Each structure stands twice: as structure tokens, then as C-alpha cells.
Amino acid sequence: MNAESGFPIKPVYGPADVPAGAGAEEPGEYPYTRGVYPTMYTKRPWTMRQYAGFGTAAESNARYHQLLAAGTMGLSVAFDLPTQMGYDSDDTIAHGEVGKVGVAIDSIDDMRLLFKDIPLDRVSTSMTINAPGSVLLLLYQLVAEEQGVPGSALQGTIQNDILKEYIARGTYIFPPKPSLRLVADTFAYCRAEIPKWNTISISGYHMAEAGASPAQEIAFTLANGIEYVRAAIAAGLAVDDFAPRLSFFFVARTTLLEEIAKFRAARRMWARIMRDEFGAKDPKSLMLRFHTQTAGVQLTAQQPEVNLIRVAIQALGAIAGGTQSLHTNSYDEALALPTEKSARLALRTQQVLAYESGLTGTVDPFAGSYAVEALTDAVEREATALIDRVFEYGSAVDAIEQGFQKGEIEASAYRIATEIDSGERVVVGVNRFAAESEEKYEPLRVDPAIEAAQVARLARLRAERDGDAVQDALKDLAKAAAGTVNVLPLMKEALRLRATVGEVCHTLRGVWGVHRPVERF
């Protein structure tokens, strides 16, 4: 049997397969193979997040209140595609997509409604947003200030990982160089204004969803991490001033042992990279802290209730691998947006694992396992070799522009697809144990009237605000973008005056241009 990363898995592992003393290090000590904190979950469990956001800000706000009442410890915001791409809901290109895969946020008015009656000093909020990540963060800060909550009290994460968009997902706006400048500006701004905020969630999740193997997932993610660190240092930031706020985002698949090994290997690799390549001294700069989401790509539309078992196994791997926070997918996500019931069941999965399984009683329970220690070493070898290949191009950006990571991921996706098609890799309910008939499922649907209502809200906003003040603020932003000063304070002022997300992004497009990938045949 082969691992998803391609190397063979032995039927039996023993002492000869692992170095002497493997698993003997203490948790919370360099290189953090066994976890970034000495006590891990024995003192407190991981943060239980549920990714939610659909339709209007008011509907999403209602779902957040339901999740908080059910015991969610942190909120994760899903944005619709126009918001992710920096377009307003009344833009022609947004037609038909408003509120479809997440919530539509066009202005401070929407952000205010999204977090109505939610105390932002008492929740941790993760926002899955990349190209306009800094814009949405500033809107969040503005709403918090209206609540009387200072930036120093805010906790959460913006994904803000633009490089993986060029590799696997496609929701980029600007070319790589100005995009990296915006990331570095966000690092500097948050250090001064929102010091507890995780300024980036360097993401392997979407690469994994596109078909990356576990080794590819951590290799290309850590290579992107190296690129962000280099960009921040080039912008004049000291490594220990920003590196403690870096975080990561990985997938958890059903291949339990390989996933546990992947997380352990990634921690060890990042600690060595930060110490040896960048000379980081602060232990927090060496700690790879990460959020995990169970694998949406492995959910099936056939026999969707079976996804409950898949998600439980995936969550188990993330927890045994030492994640800091976790989102469990709902069983019906291969069909439509999750219903309230399915979202609650997904959260209950985490709660059963936290409070009934005994997993929180000890740290890194798989340490010393011949199989897991050997797999940790094997994943690390594969991932290290891939990172070396990335930097043979000069930088992660150079490799992206040559299509290296994308090509490797596509080859891995093809290999897995052919294994499923041939039956070599079993997917229950799809190529084995199929049901003769499927029960009817009634999905949650987004009302198409949402787009018209959102467009009407925008029209009212434009009529009510001081349009001249907004235009002056956007002109100031354009001047800053053309120079070298940090653009976030100018963006914040424009947003405070009720400039829209689309207007801010269009202003930056006018200065920086847009990324147009080169087709290679």
C-alpha cells in the first residue's frame, strides 16, 4: 500500500525504522514535533470553529448566534465570491453570485450587521479572505471600535495568503509583487494596531482540495511561508516582530496515520526553517500554529450520512496531530450549503471528541509509535525535497510563474483519480458498497432575491454618504499605493467614510494592475 504522498507504507514497522530516541522529546520544546505547547489539550481543548456565512449579513449573523449558543468558541466567516474578488454586489461581474458561497460584504454597513450583538472582545474570528483580506480586517476593526473595543483586544485571523491563490484557487486580484507588499503592510499595521491578530493563515488546505498530496501540501505551504517572511524582512520588519503572529491552515484527510505524521513533520520543518534560515530567536517565531478543516474534497454526494464518519476520522487526525483550532465540515456540504441541523452535528462531533474520547488526557498520544514516527520522517523527506525543487527556480513566486506547484498538484490529483476509477483506492458508497437508491435530500437554498436587496442597500449607501469625502479618501489611497507608505491607514479612513470594498479594490487595481496568468500549452 502506498501513502497519498506516494511512498510505500510497510505492513509492519519496528525499532529499525525509526532513529533511537524518536518520540522522546518533550512537547512544547524545539523542534515542536510533539506540539507547540507543553500541556496542549490537557489544560484547554482546541478552539472549535464552524465556518459559516451565506446570503445576507443578517442571515449569517443569525447563524453565528446559533453556533455560539451551541458552544462554538470561535467564528469563521465565509464570504461570497464577489467579496473575495473585490467586487461590490451591484457590479455587473457579480451578477448571479451574490450570497452564493458565503456572505456578501460591501461596506461597513454590512460588517456592522454581520456582527450585531456579538461582543468582539470575547470571540475569536477567522475570516477566509485573501486578496482583499486587509480591507475586511479594517472593516472588522471599525465595527469593533464602534462597540468600544480597541484593536488591542481583538483576536482572530485573516487568511491573507495570496500566493496559494495563484497556485490552486484563483481568487487573486493584483500581480504577485504588489500583493506581497499588501501582505507586508498588513503585518506592520497589525503589529502596531491589532497586536493579537494572526495576520496570515498560510494555507495548504486549498492546495489539498485541488489534489495536492500531504507532502505537497506542507511543502508548498512552507515554501510560501518562506516567501512571506522574506517579503516582510525586505520591507524592513525584524523577523521576531512579526513571525509570532504567523499561522497556518491545513486539511485533515481520512488517511489517519499519514495525516498525524504530516502535522508533526510540518511543525518540525518550520521550526528548523525559522531558526536556521532566518535566525529567529523568539520561541514563538519557531512555533507552527495551525487551524485545520476536515477535507471537503473527500465528502461524497452519494450516501451523504457516511460523511459523518469521514469527518469524525478526519477530526481525530487533526486533534492527534496537534491542531490549535478545528472546523468540522457538515455531512451535506457535497450537496449544498449546510443546514442548521447538519452544522450543529458537525460541532457535536468535535465536542464528543473533546469530552468523551479521552484525547484531551495526554499530549501527542502517538509519539513513539514505530509507524507514526517512521511516517513523520518519510513525509518530512518528501516535503523537504519538494521545497528544494521550488527554490531551484529562485523563489516561490518564480516557481508559481513557471507553473511548477500547479503542475505537481495536477499530477497528484490525476494519480488519485485514476486509483479511485480503477478501484485501487476505495471510496465507500462511490466505487464500493454503493446503495441501490438514495434517500431524497432537501438542501438549503439561497434566495435569489438576496442580490436585489443587496444592490438596493448599496444604492442607499451611495445616496446617504458624503460622496466627495469618499472620493478624496480614495485619491489619498491611490497616492499611497503609488508610493511606499503603508496603505492600510488610508484604506481604513476611506472605509470609515463608507467607501465600499469594490471601490477600495478598484482604486488599488488602478495603481497596481491585475494579475493575468500566462497560459502554457
Pairing, β 197-198 against β 200-203: unpaired
* pLDDT at site 76: 84
**pLDDT tens digits, 29-64:** 999 999 999 999 999 999 898 766 667 899 889 988
Identity of the residue numbered 417: A
* pLDDT at site 23: 83
Distance of alpha carbon 254 from its chain centroid, rounded? Answer: 19
Q: Where are the alpha helices (DSSP H) in 235-282?
A: 239-242, 256-272
**Cα(279)–Cα(56) distance, rounded to whole angstroms?**
46
**Torsion sign (Cα): 42, 39, 124, 101:** negative
The position carrying cell 510505500 is: 8
* pLDDT at site 243: 95
* pLDDT at site 379: 98
Residues 6+ apart with CB under 8 A from 393: 399, 402, 404
Residues 6+ apart with CB under 8 A from 276: none
Which residue stretches of the chain have pLDDT < 50?
A: 520-521
Quick one: cell of 363? 499530549
Instruction: Give the fold, CATH level 3, of 15-53+159-422.
Output: TIM Barrel (3.20.20)
Report the side by side order of strands in the sheet with 124-128: 197-198, 155-158, 124-128, 74-78, 47-52, 325-327, 290-294, 246-252, 200-203
* pLDDT at site 438: 65
**pLDDT tens digits, 245-284:** 999 999 999 999 999 999 999 999 999 999 999 999 999 9
**Cα(220)–Cα(407) distance, rounded to whole angstroms?**
12
Q: Is 441 helix (H, G, I), strand (E, B) or coil?
A: coil
